Amino acid sequence: MIANHAETGEVRGERQRTAGNTRVAVIGGGLAGLVAARDLALAGARVTLFEGSDRLGGRVHAVQLAGAPFDVGAEAFATRGGSVAALLTELGITDRVVQPANLGAWVVGDAGPLPLPPGGAIGIPAKPLAAAARKHLGWLGAVRAAAEPLLPRARNIDGDTTVADAVRSRLGERVLQRLVRPITLGVYSAEPERLPLAAVAGLSAAYARTGSLVLAARELREASVAAGGAVASLAGGMTTLVSVLAETVAALGCDIVLGASVDALSKGAAADAPWKLMGGGGEPIPGSGHFDAVLLAVPESAARALLQAAAPAPSREAAAPAEHDIEVIALAIDDDRLDAAPRGTGVLVAAGAGIAAKALTHVTAKWPDRAATVSPGTHVLRLSYGRAGSAPETADLDPAAALALAHRDAAAILGMHVDADRIVGWERQRWHVGAPPGASPRLTVPPRAALAGDWVSGTGLASVIPGARAAAAGLLRETAHITHNTSRNESPVSPA
Ligand SMILES: Cc1cc2nc3c(=O)[nH]c(=O)nc-3n(C[C@H](O)[C@H](O)[C@H](O)COP(=O)(O)OP(=O)(O)OC[C@H]3O[C@@H](n4cnc5c(N)ncnc54)[C@H](O)[C@@H]3O)c2cc1C
C-alpha cells in the first residue's frame, strides 16, 4: 500500500511546527536527496529537487532482464539499526519487505570456493576455530584469530585506524587476506588499507565496547542466521523504494526537476544571503530561483566543486576525492542446474584467484520473489568488476568481449560449464563510486548548506537514509527562524 502522507495528521502537525516556508533546493535525486526532500517537505519547507539525469534513484536502478526488472545498483538494505525499516513504516510499505534465502555466501580464494564462515562481520569470523573458518585459515590462522579476545585492548585502534591495520595486528595476515580483503573489495569497493574502521557501521563502537574484533563481530552479527544474511529487500527490487518516495515527495508539494544538472552555486557574503543555482555555462537553471538553503545530495566530487565555486576554500580542501568506476554485468541464464544454487546467494572473489570479477550474486537464488518473476529454470547472475584503485576489467571491452568475460567468470565461480546459447539476456551498467567517509580531506560547509550521501554517512542505504535525515534535520534547525511573506500555494521558487 502506498500511503499518501499529504493527507495524514503527521504531516499537518509537522507543517504547523514550521511556519517559515523556508525555500530549500535539494540537489541530487538519489536515495539521499529523496529522503531529505521528504523530511524537509514534511516539516513545511518549500522544496525543489534538482536531478541531473533523466531519472530518480541514482545508484538504485533496475534494468529489464528475462522479462522482469532486476536491480543493477543497490539490491538490498542492511537491517542493522532499524533506520530503513523505520522509513518503510512511515511510507506504509513494510508489507513489501522480502527476505533473502538462508543459503549463505561463499568466498573464492587460494583454497578455491568455500562457504563464508557464518555470523561474522566483514569477514572477521565470529568463531575462528569452527570448521567453516578453519577451512579458510588453516589451524595456524584459526588459532591465532581465536586467541584475539585474550589480547590486551590495543590503545592505538580507533575509528581512524584502517581495517587492514586493525585486522592484521589483532587477527593476523590470513584473516586479512583470505576473508576480510575479498569482502571489503566486494562490498565497499575499497582495499582494507583505505577503509577506516569507522566506515564499517558499528564495528568501531563494538570494538570500543568489547576490546576485541572477534567479540565485536559476534556482537554485530549475532542476530544473523547466515553470513551476508542481515539484509532484506523489497518486492520488485529496491527501485520500489524510489518510486514510492518520488510519489510521496511529489504529493507533499515538492517540485522535482529532472535533467537539471546544477553546475555552479553562488551566494552573497552575508550568512542569510540567498543561494542561486546555475547550470552549464553559468546560466540559471530553468525553474530555479533563490533559495534560503541548499542540501547537496550529489557525489563527493560534485559537492566539492559546487562548494568550492560558491565559497573558494584553501586548495587543501579542494583535493580530488578517490572515486573510481565499477561495472555490473547481469546475465540471464536458462539452465536448471542452477536451481541447486551451487554457490549459495553469491560469491566474493579474492584478488589473484584468476577471476576478473570481484563478486557474483546469484540473484534468483538469493531472492525467491525475484525467481518467481522469471520462467522456471531461468536464473539471473550479477557479476561486479572494478576493485578500488583500478578501472573495471571490462572498461575497454566491446559488448561481445565483456559478455565473454562475464560468461567465463561465471562458469569459473560456479564450477560448471555453461553453454553460451543458455545465456538468454544480459545487461551491463557502469557506476562511478566514491571513497568511504574520512578518506578525503575534510570539507568546510558554509552556513545554510548541508551534505548528504554515502560519501558523508557511509556506503549503503542503512547509512545513507539516517545520514540524509540528519542533514535535513540540521538544515531545518538552522533555518527555523526564517519566515517569508508568502502563502503556501505560491510558487516555491522566485524568478531567477
Ligand atoms: C553496484 C552497486 C551495488 C550496491 N549495492 C548495494 C546494496 O545492495 N545495498 C546497499 O545498501 N547499498 C548498495 N550500494 C550502495 C548504494 O547504492 C549507495 O550507497 C546509495 O544508493 C547512494 O545514494 P546517494 O543518494 O548518496 O547517491 P546517488 O545514488 O549516487 O545519487 C546522487 C544523485 O545525484 C545526481 N547528481 C550528480 N551530480 C549532480 C548535479 N551536479 N546536479 C544534479 N544532480 C546531480 C546523480 O545523477 C544521482 O542521481 C550499491 C552501489 C552500487 C554502485
- pLDDT (average), residues 248-273: 91
Given a contact cutoff of 8 angstroms between Cβ atoms, the answer to whether 331 and 384 are in contact is: no
120-224 against 324-433: fold identical: no
Of 216, 194, 196, give the one whose Cα is nearest residue 205. 216
| Cβ 397 under 6 angstroms from ligand 1 | no
Q: Which amino acid is at 300?
A: E
Q: What is the DSSP letter of 262?
A: -
Alpha helices in 96-130 (DSSP H): none
The CATH code of the domain at 120-224 is 1.10.3110.10
| Cβ 27 under 6 angstroms from ligand 1 | yes
- Looking at ligand 1, which residue's alpha carbon is closest to its atom 6? 74
Task: Compute the distance between CA of residue 25 and CA of residue 277 in angstroms, rounded to an integer.
Answer: 9
Q: How many residues does the chain have?
A: 496
- pLDDT (average), residues 310-329: 70
Residue boundaries of the structural domains of the chain = 9-59+238-321+437-478, 120-224, 324-433
Measured in angstroms, how far is the CA atom of residue 374 from the centroid of ligand 1?
27
Whether residue 10 is predicted with pLDDT greater than 60 in this model: the reply is no
Whether residue 490 is predicted with pLDDT greater than 80 in this model: the reply is no
Which of 238-247, 389-398, 470-479 has the lowest average pLDDT?
389-398
The CATH code of the domain at 324-433 is 3.90.660.20
Of 140, 118, 136, give the one whose Cα is nearest residue 127. 118
| Cβ 300 under 6 angstroms from ligand 1 | no
Q: Which amino acid is at 473?
A: A
- Looking at ligand 1, which residue's alpha carbon is closest to its atom 21? 59
pTM of the model: 0.85
Indicate the CATH number of 9-59+238-321+437-478 among 3.40.640.10, 3.40.50.2000, 3.50.50.60, 3.30.9.10. Answer: 3.50.50.60
Given a contact cutoff of 8 angstroms between Cβ atoms, the answer to whether 457 and 437 are in contact is: yes
Whether residue 229 is predicted with pLDDT greater than 50 in this model: the reply is no
Given a contact cutoff of 8 angstroms between Cβ atoms, the answer to whether 319 and 441 are in contact is: yes
Nearest ligand 1 atom to alpha carbon 261: 42
Alpha helices in 97-224 (DSSP H): 131-146, 163-171, 173-174, 181-188, 203-210, 213-221
What is the layout of strands, in order, in the sheet containing 231-234? 77-78, 231-234, 97-98
Measured in angstroms, how far is the CA atom of residue 143 from the centroid of ligand 1?
40
Q: What pLDDT digit, counting tens, does each position of 166-186 carry?
A: 999 999 999 999 999 888 887
Whether residue 8 is predicted with pLDDT greater than 50 in this model: the reply is no
Residue 5 — very low, low, confident or very high, per pLDDT cuts 50/70/90? very low
Whether residue 390 is predicted with pLDDT greater than 90 in this model: the reply is no
| Cβ 261 under 6 angstroms from ligand 1 | yes
Residue to mutate, 71, 298, 358, 361, ligand 1, most ligand atoms under 8 Å from C-beta = 298
Residue 485 — very low, low, confident or very high, per pLDDT cuts 50/70/90? low
Of 27, 36, 46, 22, give the one whose Cα is nearest residue 307. 27
Task: Compute the distance between CA of residue 67 and CA of residue 75 in angstroms, rounded to an integer.
Answer: 18
Give the model's pLDDT for residue 321.
Answer: 60
| Cβ 157 under 6 angstroms from ligand 1 | no
Q: What is the DSSP letter of 255?
A: E
Task: Compute the distance between CA of residue 262 and CA of residue 289 in angstroms, rounded to an integer.
Answer: 12
Task: Compute the distance between CA of residue 1 and CA of residue 405 in angstroms, rounded to an integer.
Answer: 42
- Looking at ligand 1, which residue's alpha carbon is closest to its atom 26? 453
- Residue 306 Cα distances to 54, 57, 301, 310, 490, angstroms: 20, 21, 9, 6, 28
Residue 484 — very low, low, confident or very high, per pLDDT cuts 50/70/90? low
Give the model's pLDDT for residue 316.
Answer: 47
| Cβ 449 under 6 angstroms from ligand 1 | no
Measured in angstroms, how far is the CA atom of residue 59 from the centroid of ligand 1?
4
Give the model's pLDDT for residue 6.
Answer: 35
Q: Would strands 290-291 and 324-334 be described as parallel, antiparallel, or unpaired?
A: unpaired
Task: Compute the distance between CA of residue 84 and CA of residue 90 in angstroms, rounded to an integer.
Answer: 10
Q: What pLDDT digit, counting tens, does each position of 109-130 carry?
A: 777 889 988 878 889 999 999 9
Whether residue 3 is predicted with pLDDT greater than 70 in this model: the reply is no
Give the model's pLDDT for residue 345.
Answer: 94
- pLDDT (average), residues 355-371: 95
- Element spanning 402, H or E: helix 399-414
Give the model's pLDDT for residue 66.
Answer: 92
Q: Across the chain, what does the average pLDDT equal? A: 86
- Looking at ligand 1, which residue's alpha carbon is closest to its atom 35? 28
Residue 197 — very low, low, confident or very high, per pLDDT cuts 50/70/90? confident
DSSP string, 276-325: EEE-GGGPBPTT--EESEEEE-S-HHHHHHHHHHHS---GGGGPPP--EE
- Looking at ligand 1, which residue's alpha carbon is closest to its atom 19? 460
Of 235, 398, 420, give the one whose Cα is nearest residue 332. 420
| Cβ 52 under 6 angstroms from ligand 1 | yes
DSSP string, 321-369: P--EEEEEEEEEEE-GGGGG-TTTTEEEE-TTSS-S-SEEEEHHHH-HH
- pLDDT (average), residues 476-493: 63
Given a contact cutoff of 8 angstroms between Cβ atoms, the answer to whether 159 and 197 are in contact is: yes
Given a contact cutoff of 8 angstroms between Cβ atoms, the answer to whether 128 and 170 are in contact is: no
Of 355, 335, 313, give the one whose Cα is nearest residue 418. 335
- Looking at ligand 1, which residue's alpha carbon is closest to its atom 34? 28
| Cβ 58 under 6 angstroms from ligand 1 | yes
Give the model's pLDDT for residue 40.
Answer: 97
| Cβ 28 under 6 angstroms from ligand 1 | yes
- Looking at ligand 1, which residue's alpha carbon is closest to its atom 1? 73
- Residue 477 Cα distances to 44, 135, 474, 480, angstroms: 12, 53, 5, 5
Of 116, 138, 132, 119, give the one whose Cα is nearest residue 215. 119
| Cβ 25 under 6 angstroms from ligand 1 | no
Q: What pLDDT digit, counting tens, does each position of 335-362 carry?
A: 999 999 999 999 999 877 789 999 999 9
Residue to mutate, 59, 263, 285, ligand 1, most ligand atoms under 8 Å from C-beta = 59
Nearest ligand 1 atom to alpha carbon 452: 26
Task: Compute the distance between CA of residue 280 and CA of residue 357 in angstroms, rounded to an integer.
Answer: 37
